[in-house]
């Protein structure tokens, strides 16, 4: 018995020969929000004492699930029963120059590691779990001043959040700013010296078939690494009457991965994991989407500077 037709946003194939370029400037897009108002949560099974919800958005062809923190009553996860909810879905003045700290040489992996193991080891110290009162997800450090990039839907409705570092340390952070039109947010740690900044690559340099890793906290399981390839580039994803292009990947992206990095084989961040298409039974079917880092980085820079 098959899974049936996959359903999610309207998927559009990139035009043959279309060029992928870096943004001409860092001006914010004058576009409506990708998703619009948050949809009404749909209850799902939960354990005693939890308030488990899952948010889906229906469309004529199906639904797209935001890869935010879904509830999981998991023994030992986040110190007990992990409870989080999936959130709603994917600045004035002259455009500033990119933050100098963003492009960095990737740190050397521990001795003896090669291939994907070495790649994961480079990136994991930069990835964090994000906990709010109503939701949760992932994020990654973008500079040495304590700034973390994540999805706006992960922190929707929150001004203060808890960030869990790769070593298990729990730190307070404030929401420095959001861009709901692009589903991006920047957090600022109260204790910036604890973060290892990630290395940002160029999504414009990606190729279909290139190997990538998705890193984050699916179902509250922090430090989870999944591998796949770039399935498509410039995939147009239509949601809420508006559309954006995204990197499509078959690396497993699940609730809780929202805001975490999609990285190439060199350990460079090339996208921000944001959403998945799901079969009618729910769950990952190998169709995930990430915001290209070439679009996300200038927005993060603008939020930080303002």
CB 137 within 8 A of CB 256: yes
- pLDDT bracket for residue 282 (50, 70, 90): low
For residue range 143-164, list pLDDT tens digits in order: 999 999 999 999 998 888 999 9
Given 153, 217, 222, 250, the catalytic residue: 153
For this structure, is 190 an active site residue? no
Among the options 179, 183, 250, 294, which is catalytic? 183
Q: Of 41-50, 215-224, 285-294, which gets the smallest average pLDDT?
A: 41-50
Decide: residue 60, CB within 10 A, 0-12 exposed, 13-18 middle, 19+ buried.
exposed
Contacts of 5 (CB under 8 A, 6+ apart): 62
Which one is predicted more confidently, 82 or 271?
271
Position 195 pLDDT exceeds 60 = yes
Would you kindly state where each structural domain of the chain is located, as residue ranges? 67-91+116-305
Residue 281 pLDDT exceeds 70? no
Catalytic entry in 166, 217, 258, 278: 258
**Least confident window among 107-116, 184-193, 197-206:** 107-116
Helix, coil or strand: residue 152: helix
Cβ-based neighbour number of residue 226 at 10 Å? 20
pLDDT category of residue 64 using cuts at 50, 70 and 90: low
**Mean pLDDT taken over the chain:** 72
User: Is residue 147 annotated as part of the catalytic site, yes or no?
Assistant: no
What is the reported pLDDT for 237? 84
Q: What is the pLDDT of residue 283?
A: 65
CATH fold of 67-91+116-305 reads: Thrombin, subunit H (2.40.10)
- What is the enclosing helix (H) or strand (E) of 204? none
* Residue 153: active-site member: yes
Task: Report which of residues 302 and 27 the model is more confident about.
Answer: 302
Q: What are phi and psi of 220, to 5 degrees?
A: 80, 5
- Predicted confidence at residue 306, as pLDDT, reads 85
Mean pLDDT computed over 255-259: 93
Q: Quote the pLDDT of residue 165.
A: 93
């Amino acid at each position: 018995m098959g899974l049936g037709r996959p359903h999610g946003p309207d998927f559009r194939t990139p035009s043959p020969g279309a060029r992928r370029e870096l943004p001409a400037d860092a001006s914010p897009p004058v576009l409506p929000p990708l998703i619009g108002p948050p949809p009404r949560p749909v209850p799902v099974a939960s354990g005693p004492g939890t308030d488990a919800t899952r948010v889906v958005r229906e469309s004529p062809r199906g639904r797209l699930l935001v890869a935010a923190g879904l509830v999981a009553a998991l023994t030992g996860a986040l110190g007990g029963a992990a409870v989080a909810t999936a959130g709603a879905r994917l600045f004035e003045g002259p455009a500033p120059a990119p933050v100098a700290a963003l492009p960095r040489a990737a740190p050397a992996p521990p001795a003896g590691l090669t291939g994907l193991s070495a790649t994961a080891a480079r990136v994991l110290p930069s990835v964090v779990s994000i906990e709010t009162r109503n939701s949760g997800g992932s994020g990654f450090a973008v500079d040495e001043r304590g700034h973390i990039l994540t999805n706006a839907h992960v922190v929707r409705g929150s001004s203060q959040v808890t960030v869990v570092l790769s070593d298990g340390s729990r730190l307070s952070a404030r929401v420095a700013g959001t861009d709901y039109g692009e589903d991006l947010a920047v957090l600022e740690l109260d204790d910036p010296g604890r973060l290892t900044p990630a290395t940002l690559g160029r999504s414009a340099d990606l190729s279909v078939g290139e190997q990538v890793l998705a890193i984050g906290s699916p179902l509250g399981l922090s430090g989870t690494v999944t591998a796949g390839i770039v399935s498509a580039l410039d995939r147009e994803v239509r949601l809420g009457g508006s559309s954006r292009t995204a990197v499509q990947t078959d690396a497993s992206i699940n609730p809780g991965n929202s805001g975490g990095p999609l990285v190439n084989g060199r350990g460079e961040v090339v996208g921000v994991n944001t959403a998945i298409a799901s079969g009618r039974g729910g769950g990952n079917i190998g169709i995930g989407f990430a915001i290209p880092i070439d679009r996300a980085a200038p927005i993060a820079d603008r939020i930080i500077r303002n």
